[in-house]
Amino acid sequence: MSCALIDRFGRTIRYLRLSVTDRCDLRCVYCMAEDMQFVPRRDLLTLEELDRLASAFISRGVTKLRITGGEPLVRKGILTLFRSLSRHLASGALGELTLTTNGTQLADHAEALFAAGVRRLNVSLDTLDAARFRALTRHGQLGAVMDGLRAAREAGLKVKLNAVALKGITETEVFDLIAFAHGHGMDLTLIETMPLGDIGADRTDQYLPLTELRRLIETRLTLTDTAEQSGGPARYARVTETGGRLGFITPMSHNFCESCNRVRVSATGVLYTCLGQEEQTDLRAALRGSEADERLAAAIDGAIARKPKGHDFEIGRDKRPALKRHMSALGG
């Protein structure tokens, strides 16, 4: 293995979040505008290029690879990429190959994902109410996600649910979400909404600090903080009454930058070393400029050397999004 990727603050990069598309079959109100302009398909990296890029990071010590989107399972031929990347699991170079999905396509892909070496995945689910699900996603069907969750469990996949905390919604849903997740052996992670992209709404109306939501949860349930980690930014607590695990991701109220071990690459080959900064490095030119990986390695090294100490998210009345880039470009 080549030398590890270590930034100027001494953080070792072990985790790559690789987007395969910015497209999605839903239009969640906190993530996208209703009328989105997606990247032309001709500008996307090919599946072979995505494989080569991921492999370059794995050769430098990345041990966790998460496939994201948009919705990764709408990318044509995506199972080919999972099957190819599984060779790094077999060799021991990669510790985990996983993905984040909205669950709508899981019923058709769960068995194939397990066969390709995926053992764990995250499913985004913000509500258990079918009418509210349609409203939040602008047209989605909750039943398709429930079918996907069932198929995932039957295939042997371990599922963690992700729920974005939304003011006026999550307060009425959180106890049902905890009961549902823990009742089916799934973790639940709550996530603060982030000011990424113009969504046609004021995020001040959406933002719910998790400190506030946790206080509500503790009026009925007993939470005990733990030192458990899943390789990402979540801080975990155990719920005494259910025995299940509850995660909190707090990019707004309490950032987690001091321990950041992650970088992200868009489906067009742009490397972002921080979700909350615009600093970017074009890896597509290096990929296509040479069949050897020297240029690619140099571009990655340069980007890691410039990785910032942290992000500066802020949500305020009449403020524009912190970044023009939508969440669907990188998957969060």
Closest CA to 162 of 124, 200, 132: 124
Number of helices (H), then strands (E), belonging to the chain: the values are: 9, 12
Whole-number pLDDT of residue 314 = 52
Under 8 Å CB-to-CB from 42, ≥6 apart: which residues?
none
Whole-number pLDDT of residue 198 = 53
Residues 246/187, Cβ–Cβ less than 8 Å: yes
Name the phi and psi angles at 264, rounded to 5: -130, 145
Whole-number pLDDT of residue 96 = 98
Residues 253/192, Cβ–Cβ less than 8 Å: yes
Under 8 Å CB-to-CB from 330, ≥6 apart: which residues?
17, 19, 68, 264, 266, 272, 275
Neighbouring C-alpha atoms within 13 Å toward the C-beta of 221: 24
Instruction: Compute the distance between CA of residue 24 and CA of residue 37 in angstroms, rounded to an integer.
Output: 12
Residues 123/162, Cβ–Cβ less than 8 Å: yes
Which two tokens mark 161? 């649910």
Query: Do the bridges between strand 64-68 and strand 15-19 make them parallel or antiparallel, or are there none, so unpaired?
Result: parallel
Closest CA to 23 of 78, 92, 94: 78
Helix (H, G, I), strand (E, B) or coil at 270: strand
Whole-number pLDDT of residue 199 = 46
> What is the helix (H) or strand (E) element at residue 99, kind and residue range?
strand 96-101
Whole-number pLDDT of residue 253 = 52
Q: Is 189 left (phi over 0), alpha (psi -120 to 50) or beta?
A: beta
Residue numbers in the chain where pLDDT is lower than 70: 1-2, 195-204, 231, 252-256, 311-332
Whole-number pLDDT of residue 71 = 96
| pLDDT tens profile 100-121 | 999 999 999 999 999 999 999 9
Whole-number pLDDT of residue 330 = 63
Which two tokens mark 89? 């699991």
**pTM, 2 dp:** 0.88
Neighbouring C-alpha atoms within 13 Å toward the C-beta of 157: 32
| pLDDT tens profile 178-216 | 999 999 999 999 999 876 545 455 556 778 999 999 999
Whole-number pLDDT of residue 138 = 94
Q: Which value, to the nearest 10 degrees, does the dihedral of the CA atoms of residues 177, 204, 253, 223 take? A: -20
Q: Distance between terminal CA atoms of the chain?
A: 28
Residues 179/242, Cβ–Cβ less than 8 Å: yes
Instruction: Compute the distance between CA of residue 246 and CA of residue 240 in angstroms, rounded to an integer.
Output: 11
DSSP type of residue 234? -
- What residues does 122 pair with on adjacent strands? 100, 160
Tell me, what amino acid is at 308?
P
Angle at 325 between CA 320 and CA 331, to 5 degrees: 125
